[in-house]
Amino acid sequence: MIVTITLNPLIDRTLFVVRLRKGVISRTDRKEMVAGGKGVNVARVLKNFGLPAKAFVMLGGHTGKLFADLVRLEGIGLIPFWVNSPTRFSTRIHETSRELNTTLIEEGEPITRDEIERLRGKAIGSIQKAKILVLSGSAPGANLSTIYRDLIREAHNNKTLTILDTYGEAFLRGIEASPFMIKPNRAEYESSTGKPLRTAADFRAAFRHFHDKGIELVVITLGKQGVRASFKGETFVLKPRRIKEVMPVGSGDCLIAGIVYGLTQNLPTEDCLRWGTAAGCANAAVWPVADLKKEQVEQYLPLISVRKKHEG
């Protein structure tokens, strides 16, 4: 079983209009609504790949109930954790005349101290049987900045493989527990550590920094420029084929799903990374966010170039 954790989910609505005009009423031609949030994205792709995955999601209010319905309708395994503050919306306006997206994301509301205590208990109970645990996205409110760290420690007691994909304080505290894998993108790395990530020396320093903290697999994602990763004395540079980018949101989540797929199949690290890079690329090439079929990813596998180097 693979368990993903999402503490800051959102209902992702897209309204399609020909052209948005400010200050007047526009009418939509079409609308879409999906359960969003990083861990849910990872669980969706894993489910599509035929792997047993469950999404632990913090939900609240009427919007939380709507979220749970959407997840269940998709057939994604859900472990809801109920709180008072309502689940938020993200509203994207897609202008069809110029293929332009404008997105408004509501802030997540902090939860109470009591809820945090209940959350810890429920989350710890829910990860007991996980072989792989994916902790994704931001944790709403300062009081939650240590929760990933604590869950990673708990998971390691059960020999669960852990993957941390977050930023800021939750990332800095989370890496104190030495997750198996981290996946910052460039902006997340730079904002969390205050260090630049441009030159080959910057990448070497970043890899060394995280390995010294006991993190085995360090994966840095760079959008259309691909992936740089480091594992057990080897570094990898993966480059996707150039594609027409349609909607890159969720590519990082798809990359994680691809790597998790590789891990469950006991593929060598290089191939796990190839699956991840191909999944990120396949996602960016289509409109739906993080809803890939396995065949879509397989198409891209041969189009990824991989350079591997032993570090001295």
Ligand X SMILES: Nc1ncnc2c1ncn2[C@@H]1O[C@H](COP(=O)(O)OP(=O)(O)OP(=O)(O)O)[C@@H](O)[C@H]1O
243 lies in the binding site for ligand X (CB under 6 A): yes
Of the candidate spans 52-60, 61-69, 189-197, 249-257, the one that interacts with ligand X by CB under 6 A turns out to be 249-257
Helix (H) and strand (E) counts in the chain: 10, 14
Q: How far apart are CA 186 and CA 137, in angstroms?
A: 15
Q: Which is nearer to ligand X, 20 or 249 (CB)?
A: 249
Using CB under 6 A as the binding rule, whether residue 221 contacts ligand X is answered as yes
Q: Looking at 245, 268, 286, 308, which residue binds ligand X (CB under 6 A)?
A: 245
Read off the DSSP letter of residue 137. S
Q: Nearest approach, Cβ of 65 to ligand X (angstroms)?
A: 26
243, interface contact from Mg ion, ligand X, none, CB < 5-8 Å by kind: ligand X
Asked if 90 is part of the footprint of ligand X (rule: CB under 6 A), the reply reads: no
10 binding ligand X? (CB under 6 A): no
- 222 touches which of ligand X, Mg ion, none (CB within 5 to 8 A by kind)? ligand X
Does the protein bind ligand X through residue 116 (CB under 6 A)? no
Distance CA 20, CA 311 (A): 52
* CB of 174 vs ligand X, minimal distance in Å: 15
- Told to check if 174 binds Mg ion by CB under 5 A, we report no
Q: Are 149 and 135 in contact (CB under 8 A)?
A: no
Q: Binding residue for ligand X (CB under 6 A) from 253, 263, 291, 297?
A: 253
Cα gap 243→251, rounded to integer Å: 13
Residue 258 makes contact with ligand X by CB under 6 A: no
Which two tokens mark 166?
């977050």
Coil, strand or helix: which one is 301?
helix
Q: Name which of ligand X, Mg ion, none residue 36 binds, using a CB cut-off of 5 to 8 Å depending on partner kind.
A: none
Per DSSP, the residues of 47-76 read: HHTT--EEEEEEEEHHHHHHHHHHHHHTT-
What residue 68 binds from ligand X, Mg ion, none (CB within 5 to 8 A, per partner kind)? Answer: none
Q: Which two tokens stand for residue 290?
A: 């993080």
Q: Does 39 bind Mg ion (CB under 5 A)?
A: no
Question: Quick check: 138 binds ligand X (CB under 6 A)?
Answer: no
Q: How far apart are CA 62 and CA 68, in angstroms?
A: 10
Site pattern 44..63 for ligand X (x: CB under 6 A):
--------------------
Can residue 276 be called a binding residue for Mg ion (CB under 5 A)?
A: no
Tell me how far apart the alpha carbons of residues 222 and 283 are, in angstroms, rounded to a whole number: 14
CA atoms of 303 and 104, how far apart (whole Å) = 34
Rg of the chain on CA atoms, in Å: 19
In 3D space, the residue among 192, 253, 249, 184 whose CA is nearest the CA of residue 222 turns out to be 184
By CB under 5 A, tell whether 60 contacts Mg ion.
no
Cβ-closest residue to Mg ion?
Answer: 252
Q: Which is nearer to ligand X, 116 or 243 (CB)?
A: 243
Task: Establish if 184 lies at the interface with Mg ion (CB under 5 A).
Answer: no
Nearer to ligand X, 83 or 282 (CB): 282
The pair phi, psi for residue 62, each rounded to 5°, is -65, -35
- Among positions 213-252, residues that touch Mg ion (CB under 5 A) are 252
Which 3 state secondary structure label does DSSP give 263? helix
* Footprint on this chain of ligand X (rule: CB under 6 A): 185, 221-224, 226-227, 240, 243, 245, 248-253, 255, 277, 280-281, 284
